[in-house]
Amino acid sequence: MDATGDSTVALYGFALSSRKNQTASPSDFFMLKTWRLSDIIIGSNQKDGGHGMYTVVFADDEVELRQAILQRIDWEGLGFSVVADAENGVEALEAVEQYEPDLLITDIRMPLMTGIELARRVREVCPATQIVFLSGYDDFGYAQEAIRYNVISYLLKPISAAELSEELGHIRAKMDARLEELRHAGANPQTEKRLAETEFLLPLLLGTSDDFERDEVLYARAAEIGLFATPPKRFCVAVAKFKGADGQNRTMARHIPLTETILSKYISVCVFLVNGRVVIFAYSDKDNSENFRIAMQDLVQSAAKLYSETCTVGISRLFTSISQSAAAYFEAVTARRYSTEGATPLRYITDQEHGSKNEYEYIEKSVFRLEELLKVGTEEALASFLEELYRESNQRSSDYLVIQILATVYRTVSTVSQKEALTALVADNPIYARVGLAERSETVRDELRRLCMDARKIISGYRTQSSQLLCDRAVAIIEADYADESLTLTDVSTRLAVSPNYLSALIKKNKGENFVSLLTACRMRHAYDLIVCSTMKILEVAERCGYSDQHYFSYCFKKHYGISPNKMRENSRSTDES
């Protein structure tokens, strides 16, 4: 909160007098100007592991200026530790991915990748990182564009070391204030509203509602308590646990305001503490699922920075009907417990269970209608219902349908009749022959145990095989579409119906390198062939290999092979002539 009492944290800054008529080297100063926007909320960067220092990556393509700032600023005295510097956007992004810094200070116009694009990419891989833009252009449009990407200051060059130090002090104060806000955030003052939300949502999530109400009724109740006025387009349920260095569960009430504060930057949430885990009911009016992923990743990174805790999050499928909340909660709990190959802090149910969304949901919901018809329905209504049930099921779910019908019939009959009638029913219907009443309960127990063990082996084996197949499919996509400049990890993961985090972890484990390295290596192999074996211009080669910027292509080529494309071609021709 600033001095005016504004509860939002702004793009902070102050104006200095113009120095355009003065002359100095870049190491002396650059003019400082910032945009103060009182409605922009600062992100959630925290101190790194309790060491009292905020980590920094500094990027600027002006070598003299970059070195001067690194040398002349008393970073440690201001509470910062520079962990890396970069001369272009590509190097800066690599440093952010490696170090996950609290703060990125970058020129807004750099070669290979602009500051705006860099900020967008940083938000995807490290959403907790705060960003300060440096620019030689007094363009408010850049400041407006920067709002979306955790940019807390927009500074104009040139600036003196003293001026930048003063601004860093203000930035440090803002980050400290945010740290304390998260550490000491209390309960929401709207206690009655929170209680109403809890009474409404928890039974839905835990499956303890007295009855199974229609969505229309549930949405009306949600509007009545002020949860949302109109039904959101997307829902998601997540379950989080926070563990200390000793591996013990540290999840407690303090994590509720922490979780709410971080996630609410991206999506609407209601947060509860249930049985030693944080339960998150999230919803959004946007179709884009990326905000859900970025929000959860920000929570994981902030927990590590704030409390030095490991946060693991199980995440359900996105769903469109609030009545599906209980199934989604079960998915989230199950997803978080997956700790097999490729498991990351963000564990999506779709990473492990690749069936189509809600494939069996219709059958499961139909169980209650079947039970009702068995008890009070007519023969015609029951026959019509069963016919429709089979039409809605597919070949994959037909076995599941049989099991559900058998179980429902058995359970329903057993609750309203004598054992003799149930025995007669089973005896008269051969479909129960393989699972009927056995003379010895030990036989049933042993058969069921063997069935469960066999099922577990199938699932475990498939999971290992599936991870290898996913990596192979990802490589195949790279080989097929390497010329597409827009090809990213997120694009490939979407095609494979898994999360970017999961796919990234699998690629590193199975291939020994990350997605970008695989993609770059593929592009460089094809570029080498075109450079050596064709007369194409360098720009044509670059475009064929997924680079619209020839300078960026040349940079990547030289970084990969140690020499420029032109030099590679010259060497190749010299070898052929000799």
- Mean of the pLDDT values across residues 304-315? 90
Residue 130 has pLDDT above 50, yes or no: yes
- Mean of the pLDDT values across residues 27-40? 31
pLDDT tens per residue across span 369-392: 777 777 777 778 888 887 777 776
Residue 324 has pLDDT above 60, yes or no: yes
Residue 112 has pLDDT above 50, yes or no: yes
**Where is pLDDT greater, at 430 or 9?**
430
So what's the pLDDT on residue 415? 74
**Residues 569-578: contacts with CB under 8 Å, at least 24 apart:** 569/531, 569/532, 572/531, 572/532
In 282-293, which positions are buried (b, 16+ CB within 10 angstroms) versus exposed (e)?
Answer: bbbeeeeeebbb
Residue 542 has pLDDT above 50, yes or no: yes
So what's the pLDDT on residue 193? 76
So what's the pLDDT on residue 281? 95
Residue 51 has pLDDT above 90, yes or no: no
Cα–Cα distance, 263 to 271 (Å, whole number): 10
- Contact at 8 Å (CB) between 489 and 504? yes
Q: What sign for the dihedral angle of Cα 213, 214, 215, 217?
A: negative
So what's the pLDDT on residue 459? 53
Arithmetic mean of pLDDT over the chain: 77
So what's the pLDDT on residue 34? 33
Res. 7 pLDDT band, cuts 50 70 90: very low
Cα–Cα distance, 353 to 345 (Å, whole number): 17
So what's the pLDDT on residue 8? 28
So what's the pLDDT on residue 238? 95
So what's the pLDDT on residue 445? 54
- Mean of the pLDDT values across residues 508-519? 87
So what's the pLDDT on residue 283? 93
- Mean of the pLDDT values across residues 9-26? 31
Residue 460 has pLDDT above 60, yes or no: no
- Mean of the pLDDT values across residues 173-177? 84
- Contact at 8 Å (CB) between 251 and 241? yes
- Mean of the pLDDT values across residues 44-57? 61
In 37-57, which positions are buried (b, 16+ CB within 10 angstroms) versus exposed (e)?
Answer: beebbbbbbbbbeeeebbbbb
**From the CB of residue 423, how many other CB atoms can be counted at a distance below 10 Å?**
12
pLDDT tens per residue across span 329-371: 988 988 888 765 556 899 988 887 765 545 566 666 677 777 7
- Per cent of the chain over pLDDT 70 is 74
- Mean of the pLDDT values across residues 311-337? 89
DSSP assignment string, 289-331: THHHHHHHHHHHHHHHHHH--EEEEEE---BS-GGGHHHHHHH
**Where is pLDDT greater, at 573 or 278?**
278
- Mean of the pLDDT values across residues 9-15? 27
So what's the pLDDT on residue 568? 92
So what's the pLDDT on residue 435? 54
- Mean of the pLDDT values across residues 233-249? 92
Question: Looking at the chain, how many residues does it have?
Answer: 578
Which residues contact residue 339 at a Cβ distance below 8 angstroms, ignoring those fewer than 6 apart? none
- 44-48, 207-211, 316-320, 403-407: least confident range: 44-48
So what's the pLDDT on residue 38? 27
So what's the pLDDT on residue 20? 33
Antiparallel, parallel or unpaired: β 151-156 and 80-86: unpaired
So what's the pLDDT on residue 28? 33
Residue 428 has pLDDT above 80, yes or no: no
So what's the pLDDT on residue 505? 83
pLDDT tens per residue across span 246-304: 889 999 888 998 899 899 888 999 999 888 899 999 998 886 678 888 889 999 988 98
Residue 394 has pLDDT above 70, yes or no: no
- Mean of the pLDDT values across residues 89-104? 88
Global pTM? 0.57
